[in-house]
Structure 1
Amino acid sequence: MIHGLLFDLDGVIVDTAKYHFVAWKRMASELGIHFEQAENEQLKGISRIESLERILAWGGITLSPEEKQHWMDQKNTWYLEYIAQMGPEEILPGVAEFLEEARQQGLRIALGSASKNAVPILERIRLLHAFDAIVDGTVVSASKPNPEVFL
């Protein structure tokens, strides 16, 4: 018997890849690094620091830990500006209805996401209330592909 459901966020509930792409592209541009969709595809599923380090390597740029932190913070600021414009229309097809049906069936619903922005995104798309538990990048130490977020 199924007692609950566990969902990921990006690519399951919403698709935030476009916002990550625009923010990384903006950062890369400011650093003089070529960055297009092909490069962005290589960043999916890895942490912010790993993403930054790959972009810097592509541009042949070495930064201090403090400079890296600055650019990660800047990229996240831009990303947060972009996701602040999100709304319920960005929920992937069928998701809201499925969550409602699961709730009516008495199932517990949890979100497991590597994203550190899961809660703000769920607030923006008005689905925060749909989850009984949220485990995201703010409470786990290892990012995907490590399964920690789902354990």
Structure 2
Amino acid sequence: MGLSTMFIRKHLQERPMIKGIIFDSDGVLVNSMPFHAKAWVEVFAEYGIEVTEEDIYEIEGSNHVGVINIFFGKAGRTPEPEIYAEILEKKRAHFLENNRAEVFEGMYDCLSSLKNKFKLAVASGADRTIVTSLMDKFYPGVFDAIISGEDVENGKPDPEPYEKAIVKLGLSKDECLVVENAPLGVESAKNAGVFCVGVPTYLDESKLKEADFVVRNHSELIEYLTDLKDSSL
């Protein structure tokens, strides 16, 4: 019996039956963050603010309001109210023009098998147009609920994205599990009181130390989720 199987079965003995799994999108379901990061870097440059792609990875999961506030704040500037929509539109255009994102190998088949056992949701910090276009392309008909960065007032690390997803699924927090790849996303899940599995896609796994369990890569994540499904039979 593998380590993850032993862990999952012990976990399931200590908690109510898992009925729902909530996924972050970028970096968990789709390898899309490099294109988000590039878009943000280019757009902030238009406003005279220097941002690196690594800077974007560090705050991945925040919605556009949070991202703008963070980097304008670091530059000692206060964004005007009308600038949020303006920057969001420019960032969206950059992303959609240059996006070459691909699904992580094996994830579609994994989620398709999970759908027979669990309710599935997405809680992403990206805007609704981008999230829905990626999910429609790579995971059509898989999810019972999709929460975008535009669907919440407070993005990650606030608990609102995951709390809203839980409500949409009609479950309790103890019946759900979150899969995240970003520190702010892990913090959001834990602030919502939800068990969180981390997968270090773009950052070192030490950045996800607040997660309840960390797999090393997507191959281990698929193994974990498969064991979870089999252990719930």
TM-score by length of 2: 0.53
1:109 aligns with 2:120: yes
User: Relative to 1, partners in 2 of residues 1:144 and 1:58: Cα closer, same or farther, differing over 3 Å?
Assistant: closer
Change in CA separation of 1:28 and 1:13 when aligned onto 2, cut-off 3 Å: same
Higher RCO, 1 or 2 (CA under 8 Å, sep at least 6)? 1
Query: Is the Cα–Cα contact under 8 Å of residues 122 and 146 in structure 2 kept in the other structure?
Result: yes
**Structure-2 residue corresponding to 1:143:** 155
How large is the Cα RMSD of the aligned pairs?
A: 2.5
Question: Which residue of the partner structure matches residue 6 of structure 1?
Answer: 22
Aligned AA for 1:121?
L
**8 A Cα contact 1:7 1:112, kept in partner:** yes
Aligned to 1:124: 137
Q: Cα distance, 1:63 vs. partner?
A: 4.6
Residues 2/43 of structure 1: CA separation in 2 closer, same or farther (3 Å cut): closer
Given that residues 64 and 125 in structure 2 are in contact (C-alpha distance below 8 angstroms), is that contact kept between their aligned partners in structure 1?
no
Flag the 1:128–1:148 CA change in 2: closer, same or farther, 3 A. Answer: farther
Could you tell which deviates more after superposition, 47-56 or 13-22? 47-56
Aligned partners of 1:29 and 1:128: how far apart in 2?
35
Determine helix, strand or coil for the equivalent of 1:5.
Answer: strand
Q: C-alpha separation between the residues in 1 aligned to 2:150 and 2:87?
A: 19
C-alpha distance after superposition, 1:34-92 (max 9, x if no partner) = 32233323432222122223333444555532244322321222223334x54xxx111
**Structure 1 residues 36, 113: closer, same or farther in 2, change over 3 A?**
closer
TM-score by length of 1: 0.76
Contact 2:64 2:149 survives alignment (8 Å):
no
Which of 86, 95, 98 pairs up with 2:107?
Answer: 95
- Partner of residue 23, structure 1: 39
Structure 2 residue ranges without an equivalent (≥5):
1-16, 164-233
- Equivalent position SS for 2:126: coil
Aligned-partner Cα distance in 1 for 2:110–2:54: 33
Q: Which moved more, 1:44-53 or 1:18-27?
A: 44-53
User: Is the 1:119–1:128 contact (alpha carbons within 8 Å) kept by the matching residues of 2?
Assistant: no
The aligned residue for residue 182 of structure 2 is none
User: 1:65 maps to what in 2?
Assistant: 81
Residues 32 and 59, structure 1, Cα contact 8 Å, conserved in 2: no
**Aligned-partner residue type, residue 109 of structure 1:** L
The separation in 2 between residues aligned to 1:143 and 1:22, in whole angstroms, is: 21
Pairs aligned (count): 145
| Structure 2 counterpart of 1:25, one-letter code | V
SS in 2 for 1:12: coil
Q: 2:92 aligns with which of 51, 76, 84?
A: 76
Query: Contact 1:33 / 1:58 at 8 angstroms: preserved in 2?
Result: no
3-state DSSP class of the match of 2:82? helix
Change (3 A) 1:70 1:3: closer
Question: Sequence identity of aligned pairs in percent?
Answer: 26
The structure-2 alpha-carbon separation of the partners of 1:41 and 1:65, relative to structure 1 and needing over 3 Å to count, comes to same
- Give the structure 1 partner of residue 68 of structure 2: 52
